[in-house]
Structure 1
Amino acid sequence: MVSLSLNQWTTRRWTVAEAVDGCVRHGLEAIGLWRQEVAAQGLAESAKLVRAAGLRVSSLCRGGFLTAGGLPGEEGRRAFAAALEDNRRAVDEAAELGAACLVMVVGGLPGVVPGEPLSGPVSRDVAGARERVAEGLAELAPYAGERGVRLALEPLHPVYCADRAVLSTLEQAVELCLPYPVEQVGVVVDTFHVWWDPRLFEQIARAGERIASYQVCDFLHPLPADVLLGRGMMGDGVIDFAPITRAVLEAGYTGDVEVEIFNADVWAADPDEVLATMKARYAEVVLPS
């Protein structure tokens, strides 16, 4: 039976220590952590806090951004080497935390910086960028496997293809997984990013035991000016969650259901109220009847 997990970014102003305490007070069994917050708390201290509280780490976010290697010449080679090194560190952190998976946001077009105007060299070769992702995965999957860490490829909504993820569909993510053992590489099913896909249910079934993480939040309408913050509390947008959850469970997923919301109003709210609402909406909206 799946259980509810708090992704730390949903209560963004909480530290790791505060988020762990909040999970315990609200009766949650798992937490999804972010690397920068873990670094601020301290890796060893974060691991100690989670274990002392009896929580599971449902995911560590994030690795990826492997596409910088698509820039020409020495700049591209240096960028790719730096990305691989950062991802190896992320794998080591996930191992220390005992995370169920390391979420991989693979990166957008080389030279495109999230949230910034185009400047400097930019590659428009989206097929080549996807090849860089495959090359990076070939380097990282064995390293992760040796450390007992599962890489989880997250397809993002196509609106983020230019700057954050050249993987836009679950089908693309599953295809990249296939050369690797299931315990090394899996996929993330995030409702915000994949709800629109006409082949979603077919691909969830195909992914099967490759599903390493199931993340939920709603797709708001209208989207805000900053589409990164267009995630809403379940039930506040347009997604029909129950059929997706049912499909994920029927595919064999037994992990945690992680609520990950990027939303200025949610971040400004009392985190305890956010958790209370999150629990109620999980029962009312996310779980199939």
Structure 2
Amino acid sequence: MTVRQLALPELVAHCVRLGIGGVGLWREPVQEYGLGAAAALVRDAGLTVTSLCRGGFFTADGREADNRAAVDEAAALGTDTLVLVSGGLPAGSRDLPAARARIADGIADLAPYAAERGVRLAIEPLHPMYAADRCAVSTLDQALDLAAPFPAAQVGVVVDTYHVWWDDRAPAAVARAGAEGRLHSFQLADWTTPLPAGVLTGRGQLGDGVIDLAAWCEQVAAAGHTGPVEVELFNEELWQRDGVEVLEETLDRFGEITPRSRTTIPG
């Protein structure tokens, strides 16, 4: 989504050219291109699919089949990580604890199916401003508590700086995730102000906002994370620019805060 203006073949070609070894994919462009074709494209280019986004939305009715399809798509793409955005309040509800209980039930239903296919579930907490409509899981501690009943190899968490930077308990939760072996994915985006009217597309380019991204990289590394670092930017201004230019700029910005060898730019 960082460079959604690039078609999948363009994204793959420029990742190879720039030495980016992995790409995190979203289901919609993969489905549009064709699952088998996308898997072959990335595999033949020598890239790793670091994660697939997204499953979840457990608080909506009738999600079981789609979530199992998401697991199957992740397995077909060769990634071991399916990112979960858990869902907000059901229509007409004000019962946040009930929504979180429903999320727990949904994860319990999906986890064994995913484990059988070699796919781990990564619960992503979203900023509290999304609790009503997108994700009732707002903190890393909440995500880790949801993951706790399952083996670490089955269910873990996503640390996304855009969503958790504000929480003074998050550094301890990062350490907890590392100690429990549940730190399945790490994503970078900056927080800029003022937020746009559509806050969903308010993720700032690395270095343009207020988050100490270098410190977050150090904290996550200290917690034992040795996997790729993904960059995920939803930003209308970036989407209006040349995608190759944005990709190169993002790589340069990333190189200022952490070694480039671990860079992944989600598509």
TM over 0.5, shorter chain: yes
- Quote the residue 2:112 is aligned against: 142
Asked if 1:206 is matched to 2:176, the reply is: yes
Quick check: 1:62–1:105 contact (8 Å CA) kept in 2? yes
Letter in 2 for 1:204: V
- Quote the residue 1:192 is aligned against: 162
Quick check: 1:151–1:185 contact (8 Å CA) kept in 2? yes
Q: Which moved more, 1:157-166 or 1:242-251?
A: 242-251
Offset, 1:15: 2.1
CA RMSD, aligned part only?
Answer: 1.2
Cα deviation code 1:257-286 (max 9, x no counterpart): 111000001011111111111111111135
Letter in 1 for 2:4: R
**Runs of 4+ displaced beyond 6 Å:** none
Quick check: 2:189–2:232 contact (8 Å CA) kept in 1? yes
- Quote the residue 1:181 is aligned against: 151
Cα deviation code 1:241-264 (max 9, x no counterpart): 111111111111111111100000
Matches within 5 A, 1:215-254: 215-254=187-226
Report the count of equivalent residues.
258
Quick check: 2:190–2:209 contact (8 Å CA) kept in 1? yes
- Quote the residue 1:109 is aligned against: 89
Distance 2:156 2:13 in 1: 29
Distance 1:190 1:196 in 2: 11
Query: For 1:258, which of 209, 230, 234 is the aligned residue?
Result: 230
Distance 1:269 1:286 in 2: 25
Cα deviation code 1:29-65 (max 9, x no counterpart): 0001010100011000000001001111111000000
Matches within 5 A, 1:68-107: 68=60, 79=61, 82-107=62-87
Quick check: 2:80–2:118 contact (8 Å CA) kept in 1? no
TM-score (structure 2 length as normaliser)? 0.94
**Residues 1:188 and 1:32: Cα distance change in structure 2 (over 3 Å):** same
Letter in 1 for 2:214: A
Q: Name structure 1 gaps, 5 residues minimum.
A: 1-8, 69-78, 112-121
2:63 is paired with a residue of what secondary structure? helix
Which structure is richer in relative contact order (CA contacts within 8 A, separation 6 or more)? 2
Offset, 1:21: 1.3
